[in-house]
Amino acid sequence: MNDRPILIRGGAVLSMDPSIGTLSRGDVRIEGSVIAGVGSHLNGADCEIIDAQGMIVMPGMIDGHKHTWQTIFRSTCGDDTLAGFFGEAVPATASVMTPDDVYASNLLGAVDALDAGITTIVDWCHITVSPMHTRAAVEGVKDSGARVWFAHGAPQPTWSDKTLEHPRDLAALQREDFAGDDGLVRLAMAARGPMFANLDVTKRDFEFARELGIPISVHVDMPGYDGEDVLRLHEMGVLGPDVTFLHGNTITDREISLAIDAGCSFVDSGQLDVMMGIGSPMTERLLRHGVKPGISADTPATNPTDMFWVMRGLMLLERARAFKPTFDANAQPEKSHMTAHQMVEFATMGGAKAVWLGDRIGSLSPGKIADVILVRVSDINTRPVNDIESTLVYCAHRGNVDTVLVNGNIVKRSGRMESVDVDRVLRLADAARDRVYEQAAKNGYVPEWRR
């Protein structure tokens, strides 16, 4: 923790707090781990000064669903469908990962997020094939300096058996590794849900999570399955504000209403869903119900894992969907669809609610936790700056992320990571990647890109 207060001075402040709005030039004062003030010409006599001139100062972005353990397989399945990914690539590689490999991948994935201005991730982890693998995954994200929900899932190789309950060693993991609930890394359940488990098993899994007092993240309503998963959960009486739904490609209006009434949240990974042939985004249906979802990169094995890509990808897909009837009628739309402001909301406030931290992060509001990023807009790809949010969504990229603070601590400064030894992170990741594929080759698996 910094010994002195920090004053971020002279930037364009994109607060995401309606009572503050956007300041074309303003300051953010941080005391300890908390935002103490947002405004113009704040007193900084006792502060460490961060000069934000030429930058957007905004809340850290939030990834509500990332399979971080797959980071060492980065971009290996961009030309694959989900069927090929889970039918061949995952079984061949996950089965030979050691705890050290998992540690290296999770560390790289969490550092990758920070470097891109994502201060919070939900690490949806189902490489939990042994207690050692699980603890290595936890240590990887803990060593990164990121804010993380470690969403513990049943081991992926066991998912074909719908009768298996969530591993009860989750209780031991909570007791031994998550004694408090105020650390940067906290515990959640990555539940299989009705798509992948019997209904009675699903109900017991949800009850188990609530016995432990941890929130639940669950995939629902993907094409190729029975569907109406949210309705089934409603009928079981297990919906609640501690539940966040992922994917939801075939979710119905009735299910959305039931989820809203129960206080549930949503995370959309539409750009990944289309990339892997899973299904269409649910964003437009959620917006019609007044829901602002979180957004997600999902797997590093397929697509970039930064919010700039996610925001632009989702925007393109939603506009293509909305404009298609007009195009089919040999016409052009008179009005656009979705806005840069909405996308920034999804990446910040929507994400904060979806990861059960809406009252703590997601906006630059006095009293909230100081998860703050500075995005350079003085670079060639962003100048001249006109509309701040449009510049962020349509022009900026992860290379423009200059400075990142998590919990009031500077983890990236002037474009360089400070929370970790980056060379070590990359060496570990390269070694893990090489070892996994060498062992997989001995077992007869050589991915197409290596043939």
pLDDT of residue 180: 66
Q: Which residue has the tokens 């891109």?
A: 116
Q: Residue 431 burial (CB < 10 Å; 0-12/13-18/19+)?
A: middle
pLDDT of residue 86: 81
pLDDT of residue 89: 81
Peptide bond into 157 cis (omega under 30): no
Instruction: Name the nearest CA neighbour of 190 among 238, 241, 245.
Output: 245
CA distance 348 to 342: 10
Spell out the residues 6+ positions from residue 42 whose beta carbon is closer than 8 angstroms to its own: 7, 9, 27, 28, 29
The model's pTM is: 0.96
CA distance 260 to 254: 10
- Listed in sequence order, the DSSP H helices in 249-398 are 253-262, 270-275, 283-288, 307-328, 340-345, 351-354, 388-390
DSSP code per residue over 379-447:
STTTPSP-SHHHIIIII--GGGEEEEEETTEEEEETTEE-SS-HHHHHHHHHHHHHHHHHHHHHTT---
pLDDT of residue 58: 98
CA distance 280 to 322: 12
* DSSP state, residue 213: T
Low-confidence ranges of the chain (pLDDT < 50): none
What kind of fold does domain 61-354 have according to CATH?
A: TIM Barrel (3.20.20)
Q: Which residues of the chain form CATH 2.30.40.10?
A: 6-60+362-417
pLDDT of residue 445: 87
Give the residues across from 219 on adjacent strands. 246
What kind of fold does domain 6-60+362-417 have according to CATH?
A: Urease, subunit C; domain 1 (2.30.40)
CA distance 168 to 205: 9
pLDDT of residue 451: 66
Please compute Rg for the chain using Cα positions: 21
pLDDT of residue 375: 98
Q: Which residues of the chain form CATH 3.20.20.140?
A: 61-354
Helix 131-142 and helix 99-115: axis angle, to 10°? Answer: 30
CA distance 167 to 212: 13
pLDDT of residue 156: 87
Distance of CA 257 to the CA centre of its chain: 24
